[in-house]
Structures are given as structure tokens and as C-alpha cells.
């Protein structure tokens, strides 16, 4: 696996994890002001969620990299058999 492929896999994992973590811990604004959406989060804590996402994505990417390098799960072997 080249560095570009590894980076793209990491980015796909990162975005997937981000979208699963974003709704956690969100509270709505009790009394929204004029022009403010009723479903807007009170304190979204985006930096904290980005850091958590990066750490979880790094661990999942390392697991993916290990599986890919050790040929535990190889599609090419499956294709050759058919």
C-alpha cells in the first residue's frame, strides 16, 4: 500500500468516525434568539470531538494497516480461486 492509499483510507475512516461522534453530548439551546435554529447545539465542542476522532481513526487505521500487511484478509486470493 502506498502513502496516498494509506492517507485516503485514513481520511475515509476519519470522516466516518467524525459523523458518528458529532451528535454525542449535544444539548439544544433552551431559548433561541431571533434567527437562531431551535435545533442548534448549545456547545458543540468541535475541537474536542476532532481530537477524539483523530485518535480513534489512528487506532482503526493501524488495525487496518496490520491486517493489510499481514495478508490476513486478501481479496486477490479470493479472485484467483473463482
**pLDDT value of residue 32:** 79
Interatomic CA distance for residues 82 and 69, integer angstroms: 23
Into how many domains does the chain fold?
A: 1
**pLDDT value of residue 41:** 84
**Phi and psi dihedrals of 28, rounded to 5?**
-75, 160
In this structure, what C-alpha cell is assigned to residue 20?
458518528
Residues spanned by the domain of 59: 46-82
Kindly report, residue by residue over 47-71, the tens digit of the pLDDT.
999 999 999 999 999 999 998 888 7
Please check the confidence at residue 82 and state whether its pLDDT lies above 70.
no
Kindly report, residue by residue over 31-46, the tens digit of the pLDDT.
877 887 887 788 888 9
In a domain, 53, yes or no: yes
Q: Kindly indicate the confidence band of residue 25, based on its pLDDT and cuts at 50, 70 and 90.
A: confident
pTM of the predicted model over 0.85: no
Amino acid at each position: 500500500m502506498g502513502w496516498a492509499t494509506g492517507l485516503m483510507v485514513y481520511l475515509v475512516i476519519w470522516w466516518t468516525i467524525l459523523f458518528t461522534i458529532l451528535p454525542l453530548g449535544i444539548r439544544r439551546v433552551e431559548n433561541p434568539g431571533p434567527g437562531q435554529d431551535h435545533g442548534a447545539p448549545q456547545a458543540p465542542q468541535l475541537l474536542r470531538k476532532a481530537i477524539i476522532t483523530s485518535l480513534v481513526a489512528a487506532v482503526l487505521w493501524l488495525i487496518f494497516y496490520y491486517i493489510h500487511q499481514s495478508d490476513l484478509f486478501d481479496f486477490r486470493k479470493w479472485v484467483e480461486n473463482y
